[in-house]
Chain A
Amino acid sequence: SQTIHQWPATLVQPVGSPLSLECTVEGTSNPNLYWYRQAAGRGLQLLFYSVGIGQISSEVPQNLSASRPQDRQFILSSKKLLLSDSGFYLCAQEDSMNTEAFFGQGTRLTVV
């Protein structure tokens, strides 16, 4: 079965500090991987998706970047956090034969 590990669960960071959120998946190979953000009181917004190692597509211009160094690893980063980066970040994956997305448990980021 497909499993997504996402950490940390919660994070409080000062403005201007760097960010690195990691997501790893198990139970599938060559998955499509996604980072979503859910701002307070709002729906989920797709930030990045990746169809393979080193392949990153950005949906929304922002202060964030993503990388996929390994098939089952997807990293969300920022060099300098802004207050507006606060939110709930969810990693998701779907295999190449299925359009169903499985989500990690999320990271609640608060930038102070």
Chain B
Amino acid sequence: AQKVTQAQTEISVVEKEDVTLDCVYETRDTTYYLFWYKQPPSGELVFLIRRNSFDEQNEISGRYSWNFQKSTSSFNFTITASQVVDSAVYFCALSEASGGGADGLTFGKGTHLIIQP
């Protein structure tokens, strides 16, 4: 069975600091997808990124970057030069391909990121 672990329950940093959110996953599938979502106080989930298991290239999007390492089953998310608007709960999630993608996402418990001005 799949599992996603976000060991950091809450992180608090001062604005402009860099911060990394950790995500470790478990799956028996060789084909799977990893996601990061942002949940602002309004509650809706905002999609940030999807990565498939065959693409280990790191990705950068503005101040956001993701480090996918299959060897350690990790998919970490880094925000550089953090801003107050980055404050939110961030979820890492996993979807296995064996269910045809229809089995839904397995989420970690989320990391509450607080950016202090």
Contacts and interface: CB of A to CB of B under 8 A. Distances in A.
Tell me if A's interface is mostly helix, strand, loop or mixed.
strand
A74 to B, nearest CB: 13
Contacts of A59: 104
B110 A99 contact: no
A83 interface: no
Q: For this complex, into which size category does the number of interface residues on chain A fall?
A: 20 to 34
Contact of B104 (A49, A104, A106): A49
A99 B101 contact: yes
Given A44-B107, A46-B105, A49-B102, A100 B43 contact: no
Contacts of A34: 104-105
Given A45-B107, A99-B33, A100-B50, 5 more contacts: A36-B107, A43-B6, A43-B107, A46-B103, A104-B44
21 contacts: A34-B104, A36-B104, A42-B109, A43-B108, A44-B45, A44-B91, A44-B107, A46-B106, A49-B102, A49-B103, A51-B102, A90-B45, A92-B45, A92-B105, A99-B50, A99-B97, A100-B35, A101-B95, A105-B42, A105-B43, A108-B43
Interface of A: 32, 34, 36, 42-46, 49, 51, 59, 88, 90, 92, 94, 96, 98-106, 108
Can you list the 6 inter-chain pairs with the closest CB atoms, starting with the nearest? A43-B109, A103-B45, A99-B101, A46-B104, A44-B107, A43-B107
Interface of B: 6, 33, 35, 37, 42-45, 47, 50, 91, 93, 95, 97, 100-110
